[in-house]
Structure formats: C-alpha cells, structure tokens
Amino acid sequence: MKKKATITDIARALNITPSAVSKALNGHPRISKKTRDAVEAMAAKLNYRPNHLASGLRKGQSGLLGMLVPATEIKAYAAAINGAEAEAEAAGYNVIIAQSRDEYQKELKVFESMNRTQVEGLIVCMASTTTRFEHFDKWEKEGPPLVLFDRIFERGKRHMSVLDDYLASYVATEHLIEQGCTRLAHLSGPLHIPTYENRMRAFKDRLKRYGFEEKAEWMPTSALTIEDGRAFMEGCFERGEIPDGIFASSDYAAFGAMRVLQEKGLKVPEEVAMVGFGNEQFGAFIQPGLSTIDPESEAMGRLAARLLIQQIRMKSSEIPSYRRRILKPKLIVRESSRRNVHT
Amino acid sequence: MKKKATITDIARALNITPSAVSKALNGHPRISKKTRDAVEAMAAKLNYRPNHLASGLRKGQSGLLGMLVPATEIKAYAAAINGAEAEAEAAGYNVIIAQSRDEYQKELKVFESMNRTQVEGLIVCMASTTTRFEHFDKWEKEGPPLVLFDRIFERGKRHMSVLDDYLASYVATEHLIEQGCTRLAHLSGPLHIPTYENRMRAFKDRLKRYGFEEKAEWMPTSALTIEDGRAFMEGCFERGEIPDGIFASSDYAAFGAMRVLQEKGLKVPEEVAMVGFGNEQFGAFIQPGLSTIDPESEAMGRLAARLLIQQIRMKSSEIPSYRRRILKPKLIVRESSRRNVHT
DNA sequence: GTGAAAGCGCTAACAT
DNA sequence: ATGTTAGCGCTTTCAC
C-alpha cells in the first residue's frame, strides 16, 4: 500500500503548477489541449485518483446522500434503495443507508449521524412510531435538502415522492367488491401517517358508496405484521364474525390472517378473498398466491433521489416551492382474490 | 440553512485558539476541565457539528467502509449488511453499499468507485461470474484493507469471513440420508468458487461413504435461481429419473424444483425430500415449509467488518498474517425434509 | 493559457 | 495547560 499520487505529484513531474493540473483534470476551458493530454497521461501513469475528501472540503460538498428507511429487508424499501442508488450514481453521488427499525429514537440518532457525516441531502421514510417532527423542522432550517418518501406527514409541506395511496386502496377495495365481497375488513397502519389514513379513507368511501357496513373491529390500525394479522383473524373467530374480503395494508398482515383462515379450514379466496400491499417476494410463492398492490417502489426511490439532487444543485438563494411526485399503484391479481365471478 | 459553526467560531467566542477547542472536543488529556466545559457549552450553543471531511482530510481517513454484495434483496446479503453496519457504527464508520448483480464488469466499476471515494476498507462478496482476480491483487497492492466474505477464491490468501461450507453440506446431506433418501441430487453454483466446491465435495464424500450412486445429471453447477431449479427438475422428468432427496445450494433453486414436483403430483417430502440453502424468508411461508441451511449471515457480516476494522487500525508497518473467521452453519428442519422415520 | 496565493475545517508537532 | 504554526489535497480568484 504505497502513498497515493496527488495533483502536486503530477505537477512536479510535468514542471507545471498544481492549479494547472486541477484545471486540466476538470475540463476547465482555458487550458491547452497539449497540457491537458500531458496531464492525463501522467495521471494514468501515476495511477492518480482524485481525493474526494480534499475537493469536497474545498467545495463544501461531500458527494454523499443519506437515506433512512424503516428496514432494508422490506421489499418495498430495498427496491426504493436500488432506485435511489441508481439515480445517485448517475449524478456522481454515493448513498449512505440507515435503518430506523420503525423506532423514533433510532430515527433521531440517524438524523444526528447524517448531519455529522455531512451528507448533502437526505431521503427519509419516517418510522411508524414517529409522532413528533421537530427533527424535521430543525433539519429543514439548518441542514441540506430533505425529501420524504412513502410515508409522509402533513405538518408543513415538504418535498416528497409517494404513492397515490387513496387510489391504491380504491383499486384494491373495488377489486374485492367486484369479486362479490360485501363484508369487508381493512388492516391498517397508524392513521396519523397520511399514507395509511388515505388508504383507510378510500376504503371507507368505497363501503359507503356501495352501502356496505363499516365495522370498527374490522378496521384495526396497528396491523402491519404477521402476528398482527394472525391476532386480528383470531379475534374475528372469537367474536364469530368473519369478513368475506380483506384488504391489508401489508402483505405480512395479509399472510398472517390467511394462515389462520386456512388453519380453521376456511377457503381462500372462495370464502374469504384477500389483497395485501407491498408486493413482497413471498406473496408469489405461497399458496394461494397473494394478490397485492405493487407500490412501484423502485420508481419512488428514483424520483425521491432525483428531487433531492435537483434541490442540491439549485442555487440555495431561490427556494423552490415544494414539489411532490405521486406514483400510480399497480394491482397484482393472484389466486387469493380471484373468484372467477364473471368469466 | 445558515452557515455552520466551526471550531474557529467556538474559539473566537471563547477567546482561545482553534487547537485548544479541537483538543477539548477530542478529550485530549492536557486540557483543563474548565475550558473543556466552556468549549462544550459553547459548542452546544452554536449547534456545532464536527466536519468529517476536514478532520478526515487532515487525518487521512474518510470514516467510510465499502461493502460489495451481489444483490441486496438476497436475505443472506441483507443480513450480512446489517451485521457489518452494526459493527461499523460502533466503531464510528459509515458503510457504503454497492451491488454487482453478479456481473464481473459491475464489480470492476465498483472497485474503481470505491477507490475514488476513499473508503478505508472494503468488504467483498465477489460476483459469481468473476473468474479473474487482478482487481483484487491490485487493490491489495495499492489500496486499503480488504476482507472477503461468503464467496472466496484461493488465489493468494486473504482475510475472510466465511461459512464452513463443507460442514453445511455435510450436515444437510446427512440429514437427507437419515430421512431415508438414497438417490440424491445436489444443485450447485459454479465450482470455481470454493464456496460451492466445498459443498459439492462434502456432498460427494457423503455419497461415497454410504455407497450411493453419483450421477452427473443430478449435480448441475449452474443451478441457483428458481428457473434453474425448475429446469433441473423438468430435465429429470424428461429423462424419467427422479431423485428421492435434493440438497440445493440456494433456496430459490429448491423452490423451483419443488414447484415442478408438486405440479407433477409428487409429494414433498414423502416422495422427494428437499433441503435448500440461505434461509430465505419465503422458505418459512411456502408449503411444505422449506428445510434449509442458515448461513449465519449477520454474524458473518459482523465478523467481516470487525476483521476489516482491525486491519485499518493496525499500524500498516506490521502486516498481519491473513486471518479467517469460519462460521458454523445451522440446519433448519421444516416439513420439506421431515419424514418422521424414527420416533 | 498558466502561475501565485489563499483557504476550506481540522489536527498535530512543537513551543511556551 | 494553552498557543503557534504548518499543512492534509484540492479549487479558485486574480494576476500576468
């Protein structure tokens, strides 16, 4: 591991000054083709690699973007990361990933650490347990640009890249109704997050439209995990009231509920039709295959990164109005909701 | 977004010098408790955040580790990333993740980019298509420390954190034999990667030990995906020879094979017992549940990071002998291989 | 078209 | 115990 070559080394070897080398390397216009070629040749020969720390310090930029997600195992977030990284790479940025595990305290720590690391921007999907937003306010006042994705909150508008959750829920609920379901349940996440609130609202709107009953016990708001799904379904059996259609805001919850149904001997989709959310990999593997909403997460991540990079490149003088990118969900129909009612 | 406070600002406000502030902030011993307290108070008041770029430039370190994996969706790699990040965070490092998509060319690019980004060390799981290793040689000659994990190669020894693949395969194969299987197949990856070679060797050793037949058609070496698994199984049906036990080096391949068996009406595990590899999430969700080898990936990632950080902190003068961490696999028995032969 | 000089924010001798 | 000084590698005016 020998010492690395610097522009000064190149300069010395060529009998010119570091500043000329810097200009040559950066395609500065006022530099002769001859020296530019010489510099490039020498750089290659010395195996020169620009030092990002030095140029970053000088230019006040780190070349780093931060991205905070609840967990990287969740398919939707993994895909969003891939999208954001692709976009970032194209723009010459690296991405630092952090996870909140859906814990507010961890989220705070990540904000701290991202701040220290001098990221030039932050992409955030907030933790489900986050109900205070001072850290966002503070960041926006003092820090570099920030873009929310997937989960958002409304306190003060912000840049965001999100799914059209109302539409997603509309489509999923309509689909269940088309399949002949009339006694519908919706497993939701916390309603203080507009993401889930929007889905719940669309769900209720559909029920109202068709004159179907709205049962509070069939609309739990903390039902995102397999265990939550199981618990919900077991509760239904205890109360002796089983819905004939379930739209869950998470594939995991849908799976948990489905397994209980199967254990109790009910048929999916014939007796209970199901639609999940998130297009997790396992949904295509289980039997019956789980119908689901594909949240277009890769595109969501890509757009979030693009939005962020736009902010960064913008002269900070002219603060732009808050921009949002809203993606269209895609319903994926598999066996768990297909009853072949009409042909 | 106002200007950030620097140590110079703190120094000015306190009428001392930047270097005193620096020392106070870094817990340097020869500084009075009084000034230390004053500095800390002022730092808090001015909302000071250390600039990593500056200190990094000065100290010649970036605080960044690189990690290259084939793909982040694979459970084993996601877990390894989590492990490595936990370890890195504890040591004050951030981790930059990159994916090769199992393509040699992408791997080369990532090496380039990691070099430019001034990472202080690199953790690598090579692409399955990588058969030339010059970039490793070059990195090791010129770059910061490097640790291999999961997949390794033998050309020149290197630091590594790996599973005991021979043992994993031994255990899986023994388990199938215990369940009464005698006509065994093994779906493998490319044998130029010792990871797969070791598994294949253990598999063959077991067959030999028990005097079972070794059929070339039952030991494909490019069988890691769902499609590969399907293709293998379909081939078996075409040839009219079906194994009664399959150990696959990937849960995906196992799943593909299993689905074909089920489509053809064969019972798993009664007619064909199956064990996969990787402990993918879906394995617990499908029916029958897929027995598998848990590669202890999180620990593997953690140990890789620990090994790397040790190298980094070591005086580069004393080059240490190459260290390896070898993890014990865990067999997870689910329904796909459980025949209740004894008991 | 190229050079000289200053400095980004921080740290580490060395001095006092 | 604190200050002085120098410089990490690079970029950027501003001269010439």
Residue A343's pLDDT is 47
Residue B113's pLDDT is 86
Residue A3's pLDDT is 66
At B318, is the pLDDT very low, low, confident or very high (cuts 50, 70, 90)?
Answer: low
Report the candidate in B118, B59, B88, B77 with the shortest Cα–Cα distance to residue A94: B118
Q: What are B184's strand-pairing partners?
A: B245
A98: which 2 tokens? 């952090």
Strand D contact nucleotides, protein CB < 7 Å: 1-13
What is the SS3 assignment for B112?
A: helix
CA distance B184 to chain A (A): 25
Residue B163's pLDDT is 95
Residue B254's pLDDT is 98
Contact A305, A141 (CB under 8 A): no
Q: What are A64's strand-pairing partners?
A: A94
Instruction: Taking the CA atoms of B89, B92, B98 and B100 in sequence, report the sign of the dihedral they define.
Output: negative
> Number of residue pairs across A and B with CB atoms under 8 Å?
99
Contact A99, A69 (CB under 8 A): yes
H-helix or E-strand containing A69?
strand A64-69
Report, as an integer, the average pLDDT of B221-238: 96
Phi-psi region of B180 (alpha: psi -120 to 50; beta: other; left: phi over 0): left
Q: Which residues of A touch B (CB under 8 A)?
A: 1-2, 4, 47, 49-54, 56-57, 62-63, 72-73, 75, 78, 81-82, 85, 89, 94-97, 99, 113, 115-118, 141-144, 255, 281-282, 285-287, 316
Report the candidate in A103, A109, A105 with the shortest Cα–Cα distance to residue A129: A103
Residue A1's pLDDT is 44
Chain B residues touching A81 at Cβ < 8 A: 72
Residue B1's pLDDT is 44
- Gap from B53 CA to D3 C1', in Å? 25
Which has more pLDDT, A154 or B302? B302
Q: Compare CB distances from B142 to A1, A143, A316 and report the shortest one's residue.
A: A1
Report, as an integer, the average pLDDT of B112-116: 85
B239: which 2 tokens? 């040839």
At B154, is the pLDDT very low, low, confident or very high (cuts 50, 70, 90)?
Answer: confident
Residue A323's pLDDT is 86
Strand C contact nucleotides, protein CB < 7 Å: 1-13
* Separation of alpha carbons B122 and B148, rounded Å: 8
Residue B342's pLDDT is 55
* Whole-Å CA distances, B119 to A12, A87, A333, B56: 27, 21, 45, 11
Residue B118's pLDDT is 86
Report, as an integer, the average pLDDT of B150-160: 82
β-strand B122-124 against B146-149: which pairing, if any? parallel
Contact B62 A72 (CB under 8 A): no
Residue B4's pLDDT is 78
Identify the segments of chain A with pLDDT beneath 50. Answer: 1, 343
Spell out the alpha helix ranges (H) of A123-225. 134-142, 165-178, 194-210
What is the SS3 assignment for B248?
A: strand
Residue A284's pLDDT is 94
Q: What is the average pLDDT score of chain B?
A: 91
- Residues 155-174 in A having a C-beta less than 7 A from any atom of strand C are none
Closest residue (CA to C1') to nucleotide D3 in the complex: B17
Q: What angle in degrees, to the nearest 10, is found between the helix axes of A165-178 and A194-210?
A: 30
Which has more pLDDT, B177 or B340? B177
